Amino acid sequence: MEYNDTYESLIKSLRGKTIAVIYIFEGEDAKGFGHYWIWKSNIISGWLNAIQELKCLPFILDVRTFIQKASNRTLPHIDYVLNLNCGCYELSTLSLVPSICSFLGIPCVPCNAVSIIAGENKKISNLFACAMNLNLPKSLNTSYKEGIYRPLNLGSSIGVKKGYFSDFTDDGIYQEFISGYDVAIPIVYNPYIKDIDLLPPILYLPKSLEAGWIYNEEEKINDNGFVFLPFLEIEEKVKKEIIAFSHIFPIQTFARIDARLKCKDEKLSAKIIEKPLEFNNLFFIEINPMPTIEQDDTFEFAFNAVCSNEHHSFYDCIKKYKEIIANPTINGFLLSCSMISLSTTKY
> With bands split at pLDDT 50, 70 and 90, how would you rate the model's confidence at 167?
low
Q: How many domains does the chain have?
A: 1
**Is residue 135 within 8 Å of residue 282, measured between CB atoms?**
yes
Query: Which CATH number covers residue 138?
Result: 3.30.470.20
pLDDT at 54 over 60: yes
Within 13 A of 26's CA, how many CA atoms are on the CB side? 4
- Mean pLDDT computed over 179-183: 95
Residue with the larger pLDDT of the pair 169 and 292: 292
**Is residue 204 within 8 Å of residue 181, measured between CB atoms?**
yes
pLDDT of residue 103: 95
**Is residue 196 within 8 Å of residue 187, measured between CB atoms?**
yes
pLDDT of residue 1: 40
- Supply the DSSP symbol for 200: P
Question: Does pTM surpass 0.85?
Answer: yes
pLDDT at 123 over 70: yes
- Supply the DSSP symbol for 276: P
Residue with the larger pLDDT of the pair 84 and 219: 84
> Each residue of 300-321: b (16+ CB within 10 Å) or e?
bbbbebbeeeeebbbebbbebb
The partner residues of 139 in beta bridges, in order of sequence, read 175
pLDDT at 287 over 50: yes
- Mean pLDDT computed over 337-344: 94
Q: What angle do CA 209, 215, 218 make, to 5 degrees?
A: 110
Least confident of 58-72, 146-160, 170-184, 253-267: 146-160
Question: Domain range for residue 11?
Answer: 3-344
Separation of alpha carbons 329 and 318, rounded Å: 11
**Is residue 196 within 8 Å of residue 338, measured between CB atoms?**
no
Helices (H), the chain: 3-13, 41-53, 63-72, 91-94, 96-104, 113-120, 122-131, 217-222, 236-247, 298-306, 315-324, 330-344
